[in-house]
Each structure stands twice: as C-alpha cells, then as structure tokens.
Amino acid sequence: MAVSRRGPRERMVFSAAQLIRRDGVSATGLRDIVAHARAPRGSLRHYFPGGKEQLVNEAVEWAGRYAAKRVARFLAEMPEPSPSRLFDAMVRQWTDEYRSAGFATGCPVVAATVDRAGSAESTREAAAAAFAAWNRPVARALTEMGVPARRAASLATLMISALEGAIVIARAERDVRALETVARELGPLLDAGVAPGD
C-alpha cells in the first residue's frame, strides 16, 4: 500500500525515506530500498547515478516537502487556528502513529543528520533545507495568527526543536509521554501575545 501508483523512481525515494526513518541511513541498504519499493534493482544506477548519497538526499528533501504540506493541511482543517492548536496537531500526528503502529519509526531528517552530517556534506545540506522548508509554513502561519514576523520564525524553530527532541525520547521510552508533555507545556507560551477570541 502507498507504494503502488507512481513510477519506480518515486517509489524508491519514498521507500528510502520510510526505511531511513526506521533503521537509520547506514543500516538501510540499497537492496532493502529496492525490495521495499518493489522496484527493479537494475534501475538504481539509471535513476540515481549519484549513488546512495543522491537517493538519501532526495528522500530527505521529500520528507521536508511532506512536513511542509502537513502543516498546510493541519491549518486547512482547523476551524479556529491558534499557535497551540497547530502545535497540538503536529504533535498528535506522532502520538497517533506511535499509538496505532508502535514506536518503530522516527523522523528521517533527524536520522539523516545524525549519521551523515559528518560524512556527506550534500546530505547535511539537504537536511538543513528540509528543516527550513518545514520551518517556513509554520512561521508564516504564526504570523497570520498575529505573531510578529521575527518572533514567529523563532517560535517555529522552538516548536520543531521540541517536537523532534520529544520524538526521540518517546521512541527511547516507548511512551508518548514526552510528546504530550511538550505539547501541554509549550501551548500557553505559543498563545501568549495572540489576541484570544479572534
């Protein structure tokens, strides 16, 4: 499922992101990715002449775009948006997944950063770009809710930092406690300064 339509190339990128966020970059083999994507191994070289590094980078970029789109979707589904409600939605995406599917996975961008930042410069850049792509729509949303532009960017960084850290802790503890905690504790801070009731 979710691997059916679309061409083999896209499936490989998608599968790479899924496996990387579960096992890490080093532990994810090209053969695993190809098998997971049900794609022909013979095409690997054809689509990704830059080798594993290129495929990993594209998976990271994909994850960045995905996170950005999710933010837009959260906002669209929200009757009365507020900073804390946006953060709740971002956190809930993870608590829901962990509760329903177990704690097997984390964020692919974090995984790529942690085990490629020092060895593959291009992957590090892709991760930085992914974080930026994610930060942008969050900051913009905060701005539209009445937060001054400068502060909005900072709060977006705080939200993503706290979320990513809590994801790691939740995985280690196999408990959504950390995620629920950051959502609860950060909510009031995020809403402060935004006129209530409008």
Partner DNA sequence: CGTCGTCTATGACAGCCGTCATAGTAGCGG
Partner DNA sequence: CCGCTACTATGACGGCTGTCATAGACGACG
Partner touching 174 among a second copy, DNA, none, CB below 5 to 8 Å by kind? a second copy
Total residues binding a second copy (CB under 8 A):
50
DSSP 68-101: HHHHHHHHHT-SS--HHHHHHHHHHHHHHHHHHH
Q: Which stretch binds DNA (CB under 7 A): 24-32, 66-74, 146-154, 190-198?
A: 24-32
- CA separation (Å) from 22 to 2, 104, 160? 17, 6, 19
Count of beta carbons in the 10 Å neighbourhood of residue 183:
24
Residue (of 100, 90, 99, 83) closest to 188 by Cα position: 83
Binding region for a second copy (CB under 8 A) out of 30-38, 39-47, 117-125, 137-145:
117-125
Note whether 52 binds DNA by CB under 7 A.
yes
Question: Shortest approach of DNA to residue 165 CB, angstroms?
Answer: 27
CA 61 to centroid of chain Cα atoms: 10
Q: Report residue 56 as tokens.
A: 């990993």
| Residue 66 Cβ vs a second copy, minimum distance, rounded to whole Å | 17
Q: What tokens does 122 get?
A: 């291009």
**Region binding DNA by CB under 7 A among candidate stretches 14-22, 34-42, 93-101, 172-180:** 34-42
Q: 10-39 mask for a second copy (x: CB under 8 A)?
A: ------------xxxxxx------------
